[in-house]
Amino acid sequence: MSLANKLAEERRARLAAERLLEQKQAELQAANRKLGKHARQLSDQIVETRAEVETVRDENRRVKSDLTVANQKVQIAERRLWHSIQTIQDGFAFFDADSRMIAANHAWLSVFEGLESVRPGVSYIEILQFLTEEGIVNIGDEAPAAWRERMLDRWQSPNPDPEVIRLWNGTYIKLIDQRGHDGDVVNLALNITDTIRHEKELNEARRRAEAASRAKSSFLANMSHEIRTPMNGVVGMAELLMDTALTDEQRLYADTIRNSGEALLVIINDVLDYSKIEAEKLVLNNEPFDLERAVHELVMLLQPNARDKGLALLVDYDMFLPTQFIGDPGRIRQILTNLMGNAVKFTETGHVLVRVVGVPTGQTTGAGDTARLHITVHDTGIGIAPEKRAHVFGEFNQVEDAKNRKFEGTGLGLSISRKLVDMMGGDIWIESDEGCGSTFGIALDLPVAEPLDPEQLRLPEELARALIVEPHAEHSAILEKQLMKLGLEVTTCTSGAEALTRLAEADLVLADHHMPGMDGMELAEAMHEAGHDLPFILLSPGSGGAEQDPARRFVTAVVQKPASRSGLCAALRSVGPRAPAAPPAPARRMRVLAAEDNRTNRLVFSKMLKALEIELEFAEDGMQAVALFQSFAPDIVFMDISMPGMDGKEAATQIREIEAQSGDGTHVPIVAMTAHAMDGDEAEILAAGLDRYLTKPLRKATIIAQITAARPEGTVDPVGDQASVGRTKTGLSGSERSAS
């Protein structure tokens, strides 16, 4: 091989080696670059990891710091809570689910007087044993084992009831336990010694108050009875004295005695009723009663007072409103007596009008349909100033000042009425203009005991036109409205002379008895003399000699004024055609039996009724009353309640038994006469079979009203037209109670 070839080969080998070296260097550089890049990544990761580690370290340090602070706060809160628990005077203890004490405050541990065994870890049963064995708890006659067993049963119940224990020193502890969800129990021991002592003091005070209340009630009952008994003689004799021939001076003295006695009774009744209402002892006794009859009876009792003042008493009872309702008749009469009595008392001229209207409420009770009644009492009296209207229903309030008061009274009547109306679920109100009169009204929802019978209002077909002769405009308007509702065509005039010129316009005439110029009787006689034979109905207040007047034969019927619906309709029906009647049997006099052991009261009673056409017998005790009831067969019995031997209630009970055994359905009215007027007296008396309840002193007009209401068919009118009947002033205290 030539040298040139060898050089070429070496050059080629050198070049190949250089190329290989260059290639390896390039690969080395790439590897270095890759290694550097990886190193940088690792370095970044290390930095990041170091940062994260530092962050975690910082978080750990912060958490440790927060935990330290939290632990410090918890420790502070625990110290404060436990300090509070230790500070409270009541005992506080914790028990675990195994009924072992966890902790207790000083008040709880002080009960055990430093017993070292009572400490955290002691069981509840051991505590019960310490309580009984050391005599810490006063368990009375109960055996220690039985007491511990009872207390342990209570402790183990899911919701232990509070338990009161008494310690040896008289301290009362109330144990209250609350079980948690995990079984732990919190026990609270309250010292209720002061509460127990206070309750004992309250019970003792209540006992003394109740004893005082019973003593007061007994005193009021005795006072009422003891005052009413002699007052019956005082007022009754004064009333009888007024019916005798007296000089003006003597009549003034007798009238003063009577008025003063009745004023005293008004005060007694108001105080008794107010006391019963305030003590919530007054109970309503609901029963069927006749509302229209009650209104007219009150009007009759008030007539003498009104007549003395020249006032007209008017009643406007809705013609188509039922009259039988269910309520407390005595209390409703008391309310109306207060309203109507005030109207008469505060009215000097004009009239007092009682209006009763009602509509069905659409409600039905067990007693029947219910009606919403509105009863208003309107007067033409002094009226009430606007600033004083809000006070008239308050206690002891008067419209006038005490220094210049003209009208006497307790100021309790309207307050009692308001409270009675509230008890009945009704409303009471007043409308008034000073100097122009007042209107007091009540609204009551009362069940209808018996609907109105339309036949009672049916008139003879031949009656079509009526002539009213009435000088009083209000009364004339009421009569006109009533007759028009009955289907009559009505003409009105104000005098007898005018009526004589208008007789051709009527089928019958209704005329007032007392009219200026020509009165009702003179009109009837003038019509007869002129040849007019129209039916003539006289409207009379019940006095003035209507029955004894010679012109009575020209009068078809006499109707009490103000006329009730039944009385008016009966008189109108009496003018129709009548079949020939058999000769009436001779009328007998009513038989009245009065049982009264007090001699003075018997004298007063007999003198009050001496002018009546009746047969009167007296019984001095209950046994005589029962015997006379069988032999005398009275039409009405007046029964004193307090009598020696058999009292009035027992006598009434035996009379009702006699009636029941007879089987003929006879029911003789028995009217109680009593000086008892306290709560419970009325209900007890009426429950014995009596029909009515009259408190002493008895009024002449009230007694006569009872006799008249009980008059059976075929007996002589006991009153006739005695001028003296009903001339007494009636009390306005609601002293009459009704059971019908």
Return the minimum-mean-pLDDT range out of 172-176, 215-219, 427-431, 619-623: 215-219
The stretch 697-718 carries a mean pLDDT of: 88
User: Of 100, 129, 96, whose CA–CA distance to 112 is shortest?
Assistant: 129
The stretch 676-704 carries a mean pLDDT of: 78
- pLDDT at residue number 243: 80
- pLDDT at residue number 681: 66
- pLDDT at residue number 145: 92
**Whether residue 632 has pLDDT greater than 70:** yes
The stretch 101-116 carries a mean pLDDT of: 85
**Whether residue 400 has pLDDT greater than 80:** no
More confident residue, 364 or 484: 484
Q: Is 355 helix (H, G, I), strand (E, B) or coil?
A: strand
pLDDT band at 275 (very low <50, low <70, confident <90, very high): low
Q: Among residues of the chain, what percentage have pLDDT more than 90?
A: 31
Which ranges of 279-317 does DSSP label H, i.e. alpha helix?
291-309
> Tens digits of per-residue pLDDT, 75-97?
787 777 777 777 777 888 989 98
pLDDT band at 301 (very low <50, low <70, confident <90, very high): confident
Widest distance between CA atoms in the chain = 203
* Separation CA 4–CA 1 (nearest Å): 8
**Whether residue 732 has pLDDT greater than 70:** no
* Separation CA 92–CA 81 (nearest Å): 12
User: Of 331, 585, 336, whose CA–CA distance to 442 is shortest?
Assistant: 336
- pLDDT at residue number 83: 72
> Tens digits of per-residue pLDDT, 242-254?
888 888 778 878 8
* Separation CA 456–CA 453 (nearest Å): 6
* Separation CA 563–CA 575 (nearest Å): 17
**Whether residue 278 has pLDDT greater than 70:** no
Q: Among residues of the chain, what percentage have pLDDT more than 70?
A: 86
- pLDDT at residue number 412: 74
Sequence-ordered list of residues with C-beta below 8 angstroms from that of 322, at least 6 positions apart, any chain: 358, 371, 448, 449, 450, 451, 452
Return the minimum-mean-pLDDT range out of 200-214, 565-579, 610-624: 565-579
The stretch 603-629 carries a mean pLDDT of: 92
**Whether residue 268 has pLDDT greater than 80:** no
**Whether residue 361 has pLDDT greater than 50:** yes
- pLDDT at residue number 619: 94
**Whether residue 580 has pLDDT greater than 60:** no
Residue 623 exposed, middle or buried by CB count within 10 Å (0-12, 13-18, 19+): middle
Work out the angle at residue 347's Cα, subtended by the Cα atoms of residues 255 and 703, and round it to the nearest 5 degrees.
Answer: 45
* Separation CA 393–CA 335 (nearest Å): 12
Return the minimum-mean-pLDDT range out of 33-47, 221-235, 390-404, 642-656: 390-404
Return the minimum-mean-pLDDT range out of 88-92, 146-150, 703-707: 88-92
Interior/surface letters 458-481, b for 16+ CB within 10 angstroms, e for the rest: ebeeebeebbbbbebebbbebbbe
- pLDDT at residue number 322: 92
- Are 286 and 739 a contacting pair, CB within 8 Å? no
Decide the pairing of beta strands 185-191 and 536-540.
unpaired
Sequence-ordered list of residues with C-beta below 8 angstroms from that of 508, at least 6 positions apart, any chain: 463, 465, 466, 467, 534, 535, 536, 537, 556, 572, 575
Residue 392's φ and ψ, nearest 5 degrees, are: -70, -25
Residue count (the chain):
740
**Whether residue 635 has pLDDT greater than 90:** yes
- pLDDT at residue number 614: 93
pLDDT band at 479 (very low <50, low <70, confident <90, very high): very high
The stretch 645-656 carries a mean pLDDT of: 92
* Separation CA 292–CA 317 (nearest Å): 7
Q: Which two tokens stand for residue 234?
A: 């005082």
* Separation CA 130–CA 133 (nearest Å): 5
Q: Is 211 helix (H, G, I), strand (E, B) or coil?
A: helix
- Model's pTM, two decimal places? 0.55
Work out the angle at residue 588's Cα, subtended by the Cα atoms of residues 583 and 591, and round it to the nearest 5 degrees.
Answer: 155
- Are 358 and 372 a contacting pair, CB within 8 Å? yes
- pLDDT at residue number 39: 84
Q: Which two tokens stand for residue 458?
A: 């049916």
Q: Is 276 helix (H, G, I), strand (E, B) or coil?
A: helix
* Separation CA 439–CA 476 (nearest Å): 20
Residue 544 exposed, middle or buried by CB count within 10 Å (0-12, 13-18, 19+): middle
**Whether residue 565 has pLDDT greater than 70:** yes
Q: DSSP state, 246?
A: -
The stretch 616-638 carries a mean pLDDT of: 93
- pLDDT at residue number 439: 93
The most confident of 30-44, 266-280, 573-587, by mean pLDDT? 30-44
The stretch 443-448 carries a mean pLDDT of: 94
Q: Is 534 helix (H, G, I), strand (E, B) or coil?
A: coil
> Tens digits of per-residue pLDDT, 202-234?
999 988 888 887 777 667 666 666 777 777 778
User: Of 321, 297, 333, whose CA–CA distance to 373 is shortest?
Assistant: 321
- pLDDT at residue number 545: 60
CA distances from residue 399 to 268, 381, 390, 395, 437 in whole angstroms, order as listed:
21, 13, 10, 12, 13
Mean residue pLDDT of the chain comes to 83
Strand partners, 491: 467
